[in-house]
Amino acid sequence: MARIRIAWSSGEVTANLRDTPTVVKLLAVLPCDSRANTWGEEVYFSMPVKAGLEADARQVVDAGTICFWVDGNSLALPFGPTPVSKGDECRLASKCNVLGQIEGDPRRLETVRDGEAIRVELAGN
C-alpha cells in the first residue's frame, strides 16, 4: 500500500492509499505542487491526472477520506460538512473516486487557507 504526504505552510497529513486505477495515475505524477481551495470543511486542489469514475465512487464519505474529484481533476479532502452536506456528513460536490484515508486527525486540514501552496509527495513507510 502506498503512502503520501500532503504538506502546506502550517502543517501536513499522511495518508494510506488503496490499490485503484486512479491511485496508480496519481502516484505517477508525484511529487506535485498545487494551490489549495476550500469549500466548507473540505480542501481540494487540482492535480495533473485525468480519470473516470470507478465502480465504488461515492458522494458521501467519512472525514479524512482521500478522494479524486473526476469533474475537477482534483484531490478532495473532506474533514467535515460542506455546503451541500445534510447534517454533519462529508458530502462532496459529486461522486468521487475513493483513494484512501488520512492517518490520524483529519481536522489538521483546518489550517489550510484558500490559495495556499500545497505539495503532494510519496511518504516513507
Model pLDDT, residue 85:
97
CB-based burial of residue 109 (10 Å sphere; 0-12 exposed, 13-18 middle, 19+ buried)? buried
| Residue 38: strand pairing partners | 43
Model pLDDT, residue 55:
97
User: Does 125 score more than 70 pLDDT?
Assistant: no
CA 64 to chain centre: 8
CATH number of 3-122: 2.40.100.20
Supply 36's cell numbers.
489549495
pLDDT tens string 25-47: 999 999 999 999 999 999 999 99
**CA 113 to CA 24: how far, in whole Å?**
28
pTM: 0.95
Comparing CA positions, the residue from 55, 45, 63 lying closest to residue 22 is 55
Which residues, 6 or more positions from 77, have their beta carbon under 8 angstroms from its beta carbon?
A: 6, 13, 42, 43, 44, 64, 65, 66, 67, 102, 106, 109
**Chain mean pLDDT for the chain:** 97
The residue extents of the domains of the chain are: 3-122
Q: Are 68 and 74 in contact (CB under 8 A)?
A: yes
